[in-house]
């Protein structure tokens, strides 16, 4: 294991989104010596409420776009690391309109790694297991760091592109980088467009949950707290130039997750609609995270999916003011798509 990197002043891009804000809260709670500058454009997916109430002397908010070179030239100097979460993150949106995905995920990453080079700043790139495409249901294989890239959707192809840029910047310019590719996250503060919060909030609103296709697609669920602890471990102890897969052995098919949500919320397990499938829908994701566990000693702490799901459901029950303002528009978009 390499010596731990001592960090004082980090930038978190996308720190007002679901996973980025979890990371900000995680660092505030566990690493009192670290100051965080959040850069976030507050797109439809960003919400300043996600970092509200954190101490002002620990977390500074900069409202801005990662594609803005002048902004990066102003903000990046004086920081010792960038942790890059900002992205357009939703597959269905990327199918309807890929353009913002190219801008933010590809051009935005390009601007950030140029700034990291220019100001000699450590860079951690947050990516997804979707860059590896999908696995068959009857295949026992899991993704590893050696799996060839084979992205299926506009979203995952832009994430794959950004990973490639970061790898090339390491080889050519010696960018001080690491990359992590994580599986599906769940937890509080996730936008209601995503599978688990969509179904929970549908039930709370009296709308029937919507399952794509046959519902047998498998996702490898990880509690977002465990994603944050893994990113911190890689940022501070990871070997430069390396990729680490993050996962918590949480494979479940969508119909089983939906049954769990309905049961926990006191509904009939069959009280949902089958809707049109997602075009190009990946069948199965599964992560082998043994490199991360072996090299950095990381283990997930929140592996009881049902109890994590109960906590997540309680959070959406208790925080209607957070999601209600965007719920109707999200469902209107889906119903236009027949989903």
312 binds ligand NAD (CB under 6 A): no
Among 25, 34, 46, 211, binds ligand NAD (CB under 6 A): 46
Q: How far apart are CA 120 and CA 111, in angstroms?
A: 14
128 binds ligand NAD (CB under 6 A): yes
Dmax over CA atoms of the chain, in Å, equals 57
CB 115 within 8 A of CB 72: yes
Q: Pick the stretch among 89-97, 105-113, 286-294, 324-332 that binds ligand TDX (CB under 6 A).
A: 89-97
Binding mask 277-316 for ligand TDX (x = CB under 6 A): -x--------------------------------------
Q: Which residues pair with 143 in a beta bridge?
A: 287
- Binders of ligand TDX in range 228-267 (CB under 6 A): 254
Among 43, 73, 237, 303, binds ligand NAD (CB under 6 A): 43
Q: Is 291 helix (H, G, I), strand (E, B) or coil?
A: helix
331 binds ligand TDX (CB under 6 A): no
Q: How far apart are CA 57 and CA 6, in angstroms?
A: 19
Tell me which H or E stretch contains 185. strand 185-186
- CA angle, residues 168, 172, 178, in degrees to nearest 5: 50
Residue 212 contact among ligand NAD, ligand TDX, none, beta carbon within 5 to 8 Å by kind: ligand TDX
Q: Give the active site residues.
A: 129-130, 155
CB 292 within 8 A of CB 246: yes
CB 254 within 8 A of CB 195: yes
89 binds ligand TDX (CB under 6 A): yes
Residue that the structure tokens 């702490």 belong to? 301
165 binds ligand NAD (CB under 6 A): no
Among 51, 76, 83, 89, binds ligand NAD (CB under 6 A): 89
List of residues contacting ligand NAD (CB under 6 A): 13-14, 16-20, 39-43, 45-46, 65-67, 85-89, 104, 108, 126, 128, 159, 182, 184-185, 191
């Amino acid at each position: 294991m390499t010596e731990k990197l001592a960090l004082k002043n980090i930038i978190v891009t996308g720190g007002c989104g679901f996973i980025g804000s979890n990371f900000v809260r995680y660092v505030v709670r566990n690493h009192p010596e670290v100051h965080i500058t959040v850069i976030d454009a507050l797109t439809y997916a960003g919400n300043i409420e996600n970092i509200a109430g954190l101490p002002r002397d620990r977390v500074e908010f900069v409202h801005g776009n990662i594609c803005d070179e002048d902004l990066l030239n102003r903000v990046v100097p004086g920081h010792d690391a960038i942790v890059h979460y900002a992205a357009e993150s939703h597959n269905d949106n990327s199918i309807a309109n890929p353009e913002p995905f190219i801008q933010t995920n590809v051009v935005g990453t390009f601007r950030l790694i140029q700034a990291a080079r220019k100001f000699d700043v450590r860079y951690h790139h947050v990516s997804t297991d979707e860059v590896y495409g999908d696995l068959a249901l009857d295949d026992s294989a899991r993704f590893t760091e050696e799996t060839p890239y084979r992205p299926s959707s506009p979203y995952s192809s832009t994430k794959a592109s950004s990973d490639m840029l970061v790898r090339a910047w390491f080889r050519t310019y010696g960018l001080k980088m690491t990359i992590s590719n994580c599986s599906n996250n769940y937890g509080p503060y996730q936008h209601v467009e995503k599978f688990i919060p969509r179904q929970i909030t549908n039930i709370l609103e009296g709308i029937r949950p919507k399952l794509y296709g046959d519902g047998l697609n498998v996702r490898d669920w990880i509690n977002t707290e465990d994603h944050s602890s893994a990113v911190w471990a890689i940022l501070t102890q990871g070997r430069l130039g390396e990729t680490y897969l993050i996962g918590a052995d949480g494979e479940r098919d969508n119909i089983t997750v939906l049954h769990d949500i309905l049961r926990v919320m006191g509904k009939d397990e069959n009280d949902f609609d089958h809707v049109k499938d997602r075009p190009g829908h990946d069948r199965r994701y599964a992560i082998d995270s043994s490199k991360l566990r072996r090299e950095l000693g990381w283990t997930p702490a929140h592996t009881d999916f049902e109890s994590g799901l109960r906590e997540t459901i309680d959070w959406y029950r208790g925080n209607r003011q957070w999601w209600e303002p965007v719920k109707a528009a999200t469902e209107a978009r889906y119903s236009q798509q027949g989903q």
